[in-house]
């Protein structure tokens, strides 16, 4: 039976093959299939269950026609339309589309004129000089394609958000220091808070575009210039990541930042609203549709939304998942901010696999303005992490009490544990030990490839234990190396709600688990969230913004996240 991810992959392939067949004629169909794929990939429920309940059209981007195709996929394992396109178009051309500078029309040109059906064949043709004589091609174009193929071999499909931010900030710092640069910002999926990105989008407000572009293409992190013009350049960075820079006059910056932040689906909705008001909207301005050519320029994004009679919509919400309707009803949530976080409830010390002593990690927390923390080292079954026996656990408590006496009222230190949920579903410590701790986080670390019923039962056993307060990184994913466990999240949510167990958004960029889609579903049901860094070192505290961005994408307000609560309220909750 097909999983959510497999159904999503089928729709992505369908979209690519339609673009290859005719990019213009099938443009909107391809966008619709791609949007459905994105929604299915982030769907917090099993698509098979929704199909059985006749509720597929509740999925964002899924209408009657796409719902019927999902049913066909689930019942037959394939789509008749997809099979028809596979017979017409070699699937290897989908990989050719991943080569920078090769769009659908050019890929089909290579196929029809030279019989090229794979990246390897394209590389061979470029090396042999066979591309240069084709329409729209030349020696330089041929060389750029060969360089792009070499870059593709070095490039991972997606880059983690933390690595992408590091790359973007290095370039932004250099650009912001240039004379004439009035503003420089990240755009694209990175600005929207996505866990991974395919490329970087940067935007600069300036009247000195050429000087800015020259500095950009000569930045030390740039290994290759893919294209360069007065207002837009594309480069490849050392990591293999592609980075685009666009410059605009300051008076057009708001419209450009809104457009290049996206998402595509959100932008389409904004354009529809503009048309209802007699305006067209592109990346540069609003333009009257009465033929006068009158432009309305927006220096800020707030002006863009105001022109459409909307309040400002934060970037993390711009996915066409109800944010337009909420804005129209003046019902956008007050999203959580990093400054709202008062506590970190998941951190490790030298007692297990951390790098800091209890005193050192407490000092780091206090310096960052936290009011309380929980020390939650690993329990004994996770031997690879030097997990604590019961005897070591009580010895650790003595140290925590000594450090607490030193810190006094400046920081409250709670003694907890990250409790291992064993492969057979049992928990590492007996109930009397758990009852004596201030807080218990239960987590899955092993047996993550077990069948759905088995691994779900393990997690439910932990949730239903009256001493477990939080489920840590519930799905066990590691970005990009490990897929999440195949859990019945409906059952997990039901149990968490019934027992008032909080679910963690682990802020470590390797995890970001729960992801935003599941976190939003949990919040809709009334389940509490906890945003923790899972800190093992001082550097790990810097992960907090990634967890907060994930929570913002889930529409989380401060009230729904237990780390924002006062110490008194938190203590009352863990005692119940």
DSSP state of 466: T
User: What are the tens digits of pLDDT across the range 451-489?
Assistant: 889 999 999 999 999 999 999 999 998 887 777 888 999
Where the chain has pLDDT below 50, the residues are 156
pLDDT value for 474: 97
pLDDT value for 154: 59
Pick the CATH number of 4-154 from 3.40.50.2000, 2.60.40.1120, 1.10.150.110, 1.20.1050.10: 1.10.150.110
Q: What HEC string does 226-252 produce?
A: EEECCCEEEEEECCCCEEEEEEECHHH
User: What are the tens digits of pLDDT across the range 366-391?
Assistant: 999 999 999 999 999 887 788 999 99
Reduced to 3 states (helix: H, G, I; strand: E, B; else coil), residue 73 is: helix
User: Which is it for strands 470-472 and 439-443: parallel, antiparallel or unpaired?
Assistant: parallel
pLDDT value for 34: 86
Sign of CA dihedral 427, 429, 435, 438: negative
CATH fold for the domain made of 338-575: TIM Barrel (3.20.20)
Alpha carbon separation from 63 to 8, 66, 409 (Å, rounded): 15, 6, 56
Q: What is the pTM of this model?
A: 0.79
Domain boundaries in the chain? Answer: 4-154, 159-248, 265-328, 338-575
Task: Measure the CA–CA gap between 321 and 61, rounded to whole angstroms.
Answer: 9
Sign of CA dihedral 438, 443, 446, 451: positive
CB 517 within 8 A of CB 484: no
DSSP state of 86: H
Task: Measure the CA–CA gap between 85 and 288, rounded to whole angstroms.
Answer: 41
Task: Name 371's Cβ contacts closer than 8 Å, sequence gap at least 6.
Answer: 342, 343, 411, 412, 567
Question: By C-alpha distance, which of 422, 324, 399, 407 is closest to 367?
Answer: 407
* CATH class label, 159-248: alpha beta
Task: Measure the CA–CA gap between 468 and 574, rounded to whole angstroms.
Answer: 9
Burial class (CB in 10 A: 0-12, 13-18, 19+), 458: buried
pLDDT value for 155: 53
265-328 and 338-575, same CATH topology? no
Token pair listed for 381: 């079954």
The CATH classification number of 265-328 equals 3.30.210.10
Task: Name 361's Cβ contacts closer than 8 Å, sequence gap at least 6.
Answer: 347, 349, 354, 373, 375, 535, 538
Neighbours of 569 (CB within 10 A): 10
DSSP state of 562: G
Task: Measure the CA–CA gap between 281 and 270, rounded to whole angstroms.
Answer: 8
pLDDT value for 44: 65
Task: Name 10's Cβ contacts closer than 8 Å, sequence gap at least 6.
Answer: 2, 73, 78, 79, 82
Task: Measure the CA–CA gap between 18 and 1, rounded to whole angstroms.
Answer: 25
pLDDT value for 567: 97
């Amino acid at each position: 039976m097909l999983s959510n991810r497999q159904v999503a992959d089928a729709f992505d392939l369908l979209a690519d093959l339609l673009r290859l067949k005719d990019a213009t004629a099938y443009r909107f169909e391809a966008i619709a299939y791609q949007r459905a794929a994105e929604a299915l990939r982030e769907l917090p429920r099993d698509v098979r269950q929704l199909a059985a309940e006749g509720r597929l059209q509740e999925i964002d981007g899924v209408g009657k026609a796409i719902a019927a195709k999902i049913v066909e996929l689930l019942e037959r394992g394939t789509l008749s339309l997809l099979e028809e396109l596979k017979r017409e178009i070699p699937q290897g051309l989908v990989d050719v589309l991943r080569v920078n500078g090769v769009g659908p029309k050019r890929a089909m040109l290579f196929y029809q004129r030279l019989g090229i059906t794979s990246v390897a064949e394209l590389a061979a043709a470029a090396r042999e000089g066979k591309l240069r004589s084709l329409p729209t091609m030349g020696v330089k174009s041929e060389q750029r394609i060969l360089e792009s193929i070499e870059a593709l071999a070095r490039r991972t499909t997606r880059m983690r958000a933390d690595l992408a931010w590091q790359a973007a900030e290095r370039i932004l710092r250099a650009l912001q220091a240039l004379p004439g640069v009035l503003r420089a910002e990240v755009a694209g999926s990175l600005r929207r808070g996505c866990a991974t990105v395919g490329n970087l989008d940067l935007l600069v407000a300036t009247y000195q575009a050429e000087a800015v572009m020259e500095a950009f293409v000569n930045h030390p992190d740039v290994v290759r210039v893919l294209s360069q013009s007065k207002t837009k350049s594309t480069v490849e960075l050392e990591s293999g990541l592609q980075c685009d820079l666009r410059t605009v006059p300051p008076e057009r910056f708001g419209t450009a930042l809104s457009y290049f932040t996206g998402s595509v689906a959100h932008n389409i909705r904004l354009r529809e609203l503009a048309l209802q008001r007699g305006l067209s909207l592109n990346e540069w301005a609003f333009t009257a549709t009465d033929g006068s050519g009158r432009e309305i320029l927006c220096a800020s994004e707030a002006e863009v939304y105001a022109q459409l009679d909307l309040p400002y919509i934060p970037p993390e919400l711009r996915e066409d998942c109800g944010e337009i309707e909420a804005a129209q009803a003046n019902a956008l949530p007050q999203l959580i901010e990093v400054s709202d976080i008062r506590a970190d409830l998941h951190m490790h010390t030298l007692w297990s696999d951390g790098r800091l002593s209890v005193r050192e990690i407490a000092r780091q927390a206090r310096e960052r303005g936290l009011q309380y923390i929980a020390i939650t080292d690993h329990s004994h079954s996770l031997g690879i992490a030097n997990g604590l026996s019961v005897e070591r656990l009580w010895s650790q408590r003595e140290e925590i009490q000594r450090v607490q006496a030193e810190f006094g009222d400046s920081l409250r230190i709670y003694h907890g544990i990250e409790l291992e949920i064993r492969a057979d579903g049992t928990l590492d410590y007996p109930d009397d030990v758990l009852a004596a701790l201030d807080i218990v986080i239960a987590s899955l670390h092993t047996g993550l490839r077990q069948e759905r019923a088995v691994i779900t039962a393990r997690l439910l056993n932990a949730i239903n234990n009256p001493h477990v307060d939080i489920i840590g990184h519930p799905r066990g994913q590691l970005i990009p190396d490990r897929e999440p466990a195949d859990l019945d999240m409906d059952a997990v949510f039901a149990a968490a709600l019934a027992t008032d167990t909080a679910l963690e958004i682990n802020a470590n960029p390797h995890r970001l688990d729960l992801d935003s889609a599941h976190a939003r579903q949990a919040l809709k049901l009334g389940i509490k969230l906890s945003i923790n860094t899972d800190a093992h070192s001082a550097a790990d505290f810097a992960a907090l913004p990634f967890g907060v961005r994930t929570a913002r994408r889930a529409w989380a307000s401060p009230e729904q996240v237990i780390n924002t609560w006062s110490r008194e309220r938190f203590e009352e909750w863990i005692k119940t």
